Amino acid sequence: MEMNNTVNILGSAYLAVEYMDGVLPENPFQPSLKHAWTYMIDNYTKFQIATWGSLFVHEFIYFSFCLPSFLFQFLPFMQRYKIQQDKPETWEKQWRCFKMLLFNHFCIQLPLICGTYYFTEFFNIPYDWDAMPRWPYLLAQCLGCAVVEDAWHYFLHRLLHHRRIYKHIHKVHHEFTAPFGMQAEYAHPAETLILGTGFFIGIIVFCNHVSMLWAWVACRLMETIDVHSGYDVPMNPLHLIPFYAGTRFHDFHHMNFVGNYASTFTWWDKLLKTDNQYNKHLLREYDMKKEQ
């Protein structure tokens, strides 16, 4: 089976990395993590772990990552970092967004999450602690997933902006021209399925342990909530990632509606010149600062 071959290749690559310079140093949190993971395996079925565990991971991480930007609106000293300062968040917008999120999470995404167990069984994806990849390998897998998802997102997102399609689907996500973190997954159900497909492609290619699936969930949510936060906070560690788009890049997409279609990286927009309007915008901002 092709998937098993992929898993075997990735497993061999992992072993090569691990033993090239000896065993990697042990994570200080490893004993506690191992105890918690073993407890989970011993007390819950694979179906419960794959379904309810995945749902918990998604909901907990999503709203945890949304919390900082939600709190920023109440902190006056953080307003200097808000990109569109003339468009503050309102309770009405945030409540409407929250209700749509609950619908999407439990009526659209939960049925998809219910298929996780059958996916892991079909491809013999392990759950046990001993088969869990070490963190450098997990990060490499998540990077691979991000590259795959970014390519899918760019072309399908750009298609959703076509004038014959936009008003029927993607217009919902652009209801807020000044995005805020919780709005990251505020979208038409069809868009959730269309753009969400890119998330699953990477899993099909790279997943060799259920922990990798959860690691990719965490990475993807961290990225999409960051670029929708509306705040360009200095010293953001995500900016250390080469070609990372960041908050300003995607915030301009919501403000301008045209260009900057990629989800994570900037290379597709640069290659296909769909960042031209953004570059002109940056030049105007630079000239205005020089005149001040």
Q: What is the pLDDT of residues 56-100, one digit of tens each?
A: 999 999 999 999 999 999 999 999 999 998 898 889 999 999 999
How many C-beta atoms surround the C-beta of residue 251 within 10 A?
A: 23
- What's the Cα-to-Cα distance from 149 to each of 18, 135, 155, 221, rounded to whole Å? 27, 21, 10, 13
Distance, CA of 112 to CA of 262 (rounded, Å) = 24
What mean pLDDT comes out for the span 25-38?
A: 79
Contact 12, 4 (CB under 8 A): no
Q: How confident is the model at residue 289 (pLDDT cuts 50, 70, 90)?
A: confident
User: Does the pLDDT value for residue 12 go beyond 70?
Assistant: no
Q: Which long-range contacts (CB under 8 A, 24 or more apart) does 142-145 make?
A: 142/212, 142/215, 142/216, 142/219, 144/202, 144/205, 144/206, 145/199, 145/202, 145/203, 145/205, 145/206, 145/216, 145/219, 145/220
- Please list the residues that pair with 22 across neighbouring strands: 20
Distance, CA of 215 to CA of 135 (rounded, Å) = 9
How many C-beta atoms surround the C-beta of residue 290 within 10 A?
A: 7
* Angle separating helix axes 135-160 and 2-20, nearest 10 degrees: 130
Q: Which amino acid is at 11?
A: G
The 8-class DSSP code of residue 27 comes to P
What's the pLDDT tens digit per position in 95-129? Answer: 999 999 999 999 999 999 999 999 999 999 999 99
The 8-class DSSP code of residue 273 comes to T
Contact 144, 163 (CB under 8 A): no
Torsion of CA 181, 242, 249, 150, to 10 degrees: -70
What's the pLDDT tens digit per position in 145-194? Answer: 999 999 999 999 999 999 999 999 999 999 989 999 999 999 999 999 99
